[in-house]
Amino acid sequence: MSSINDSLPVDENKISFGSEMSPFDQIALREILDGFGRKDLKILEIGSWVGLGSTQIFAEYCSILYCVDSWKGNLIPQHDNLIKRTDPLSLFNSNTEKFSKKVVPIKASSTIITEIFRPNYFDLIFIDADHTYNGVKQDIQNALPLLKKDGILCGHDCEGRVDESNKDIIMGNLDIDAVENVFPKFTHTHCGVVAAVSEIDLPVFLFSEKNEPWTILVDSQERMGLSTIWFIINELGSEKVFENSYAPVLVEELERFNIVLYRREYYGLPKWLGPIEVDTLTSDQLEDIDCIFKSYSLKEVKKFIAAYTDLLEKTNHLQAQANDLQKKLTEKDKLSKLRSFLRSIISSVQLQGRKG
């Protein structure tokens, strides 16, 4: 059994993805949203920019999506440059036109949410506006009461948690958008977001955290990466949130194998082993079963199955040849026994003749 090693590729600079959200952030958001198992969610997005990132995803899953943004941009050159050239709200409107019946832009500071929305209203609130520590902290505090009991609060740009090794650099950069090279897996770190999220007095989950089942994400081109999405589950367990995304699914049957997708990994399960409940076995137990292959890459699993099948055919062929040879040898053996038996009869007959 083989699996991916520990060396994850570094998430690329998000700008290179041509959107505010990397494909891995988009997958992470979809996994959270899929957990609801329905597409009539009431969603609040704080920070939408030109509506090409998170907005497009939320619009698919909502009955109503409120987008609160000052449309003044963040203190980063990309936003400044765009504002000099065009009006980001007009771009937002044209980019979300096909969802215009359910997407409601609200041009205001994010603090307005406490005044215009009633408590316990939203299924999901997403925070991706001002990335300074005070900005994020305030958005979190203001958003929590607006969430339903089984709602989810989540946000963008949290690359890790504050700890002894990074405390000084994080605490020294709370008021700027992002700095480089704090967490090795990411090119940039949003210190204000990391600090504010680390302080939340509720269990917070990070997609970027190692050893969580949701850490490694694979995009449609089978590139692996990490997401900076963080989330808080009000009264839902994390298993419940990912129940739909992580249930084992039969992807296809190939040769003498079933390919099953489970917790983002593909398993090549030999049919001759009978039914295998992947969700009831631990990784160690699966590890002990020979000829099960798992990988984050479907291509890799298919390659393994092809190689295994090829080997199996060659072995069977060799086995058939060996049987054949064995049979011939046995026949030859019988023949030589018969020959010596005949010879002994002939010589005894000859002896008898001579005697007679």
Q: Which residues bind ligand SAM (CB under 6 A)?
A: 20-21, 47-49, 52-54, 68-74, 109-110, 128-130, 135
Distances from the Cα of 296 to the Cα of 48, 59, 179, 224, angstroms? 31, 29, 31, 8
Q: From CA 129, how far away is CA 136, in angstroms rounded?
A: 8
Strand partners, 249: 261
Return the number of the residue (41 or 292) whose C-beta is nearest ligand SAM. 41
Q: How far is the CB of 132 from ligand SAM (least distance, A)?
A: 9
Return the number of the residue (189 or 295) whose C-beta is nearest ligand SAM. 189
CB-based closest residue to ligand SAM:
53
Distances from the Cα of 142 to the Cα of 33, 49, 105, 126, angstroms? 22, 20, 19, 12
Q: From CA 303, how far away is CA 307, in angstroms rounded?
A: 6
Q: From CA 166, how far away is CA 188, in angstroms rounded?
A: 13
Return the number of the residue (18 or 203) whose C-beta is nearest ligand SAM. 18
Q: How far is the CB of 46 from ligand SAM (least distance, A)?
A: 7
Return the number of the residue (49 or 214) whose C-beta is nearest ligand SAM. 49
Degrees to nearest 5, angle at CA 337 with 334 and 338: 85
Q: How far is the CB of 172 from ligand SAM (least distance, A)?
A: 21
Is the CB of residue 79 less than 8 Å from the CB of residue 99?
Answer: no
Return the number of the residue (77 or 275) whose C-beta is nearest ligand SAM. 77
Return the number of the residue (54 or 208) whose C-beta is nearest ligand SAM. 54
Return the number of the residue (190 or 294) whose C-beta is nearest ligand SAM. 190
Return the number of the residue (228 or 295) whose C-beta is nearest ligand SAM. 228
Q: How far is the CB of 154 from ligand SAM (least distance, A)?
A: 11
Return the number of the residue (72 or 317) whose C-beta is nearest ligand SAM. 72
